[in-house]
Amino acid sequence: MSKKRFRPSRGEVRESLISYLFISPWLLGFLVFVAGPMLFTLYSSFTNYDITSTFDWVGLRNYTRLFTDRLFLKSIYNTGYYTVFSVPLGIAVGVLAAVLVNLEIPGQKLFRTIFFLPRILTGLSVLLLWVWVFNPEQGVINSLLNVVGIHNTPLWLNDEHWSKPALIIMSAWTALGSVVIYLAGLQSVPRQLYEAASIDGATPVRQFLSVTIPLLSPTIFFKVITGINGALQSWVNAMVMTKGGPSDSTLFYGLYMYRIAFTDMRMGYAAAMAWIMLFITLIITGIQFWGSKRWVYYEGEGR
């Protein structure tokens, strides 16, 4: 017995065409501004493209040259160092700030205003303000250290050993901008769980570790993913505040790629760097999703 082939009616075809018509602006934008440039950079990474004249095929030369490039390896180290320390610090600051804002204590509105300031104060002016904060002679941090009796203060952005820690400390400021995300996660935690834990004799610290953190883990996981991806692409702060110095200590991956592309005009080499960073990001993200099964708890999910 032969099966009848399904043929959509004229109305269904018309409905499908209308649907595609509605999403066509997005499809066109994706092809022109995302997929197209990505494919172009992929091809460019195998050439000696320099914007103005040359576009010759060089094969894997750009990729093999990267791993003998001292500054490329230095930028990988700097970016990894910054990511490893800034992401956990940002998550810790964001969670603790959200817990403080969520508590019903005097001055709660003031805390909320302070923690939402990073969403309002952005751009070059904030970076210049942080340059003054880290000033070795007149900066706020060293002035406070002098007050408590520490006179052998760091040079911060002027010292290759302290420049990356300075940028990591500054990253905690931007982490406050994610308080609203953690606050939404906290307010979704059922109150009866805290009541049950309190009846069992759990202290506030134990409630935080055994109730708050597990139920907040999906939000934390989201911020880990976005935080690592953001840290791997961070370079504007270093360009404005240190220009990659001193001694290339803040030469982050994105900053070096920017210099290669727009200062040296070696677009093919920079395109190879961009694809290397894409693969690094995909690998790290895949590892995070694989490991999340061990510590991320979703409500209603059996364990």
pLDDT at residue 220 in the model: 93
Copy the structure tokens of residue 136.
């070795």
Within-domain flag for 24: no
Q: Closest Cα partner for 163 from 241, 222, 276?
A: 241
pLDDT digits 0-9 by tens, 117-175: 777 777 788 888 899 999 998 889 999 999 998 888 999 999 999 999 999 999 988 88
Please compute the mean of the pLDDT values over residues 11-37 and round it to a whole number: 89
Band (4; pLDDT cuts 50, 70, 90): low
In a domain, 129, yes or no: yes
* Residue 212 pLDDT exceeds 80: yes
97 is a domain residue:
yes
Residue 70 lies in domain = 65-292
Q: What is the pTM of this model?
A: 0.89
Is the residue at 199 inside a domain? Answer: yes
Q: Is the confidence at residue 116, as pLDDT, over 80? A: no
Is 274 within the bounds of a domain? yes
Dihedral of CA atoms 277, 282, 284, 288 in degrees, nearest 10, equals 160
Whether residue 9 is predicted with pLDDT greater than 60 in this model: the reply is yes
When divided into structural domains, the chain yields a total of 1
- Identify whether 4 is part of a domain: no
* For residue 6, pLDDT beyond 70: no
State the pLDDT at residue 80: 96
Residue 188 sits at φ, ψ, to 5 deg, of -90, -5
CATH assignment at residue 132? 1.10.3720.10
Across 121-145, b (16+ Cβ under 10 Å) vs e yields: eeeeebbeebbebbbeeebebbeee
Q: Is residue 166 part of a domain?
A: yes
Cβ–Cβ contacts within 10 Å for residue 91, how many?
A: 18
Residue 249, Cα to own-chain centre: how many angstroms?
Answer: 20
In a domain, 236, yes or no: yes
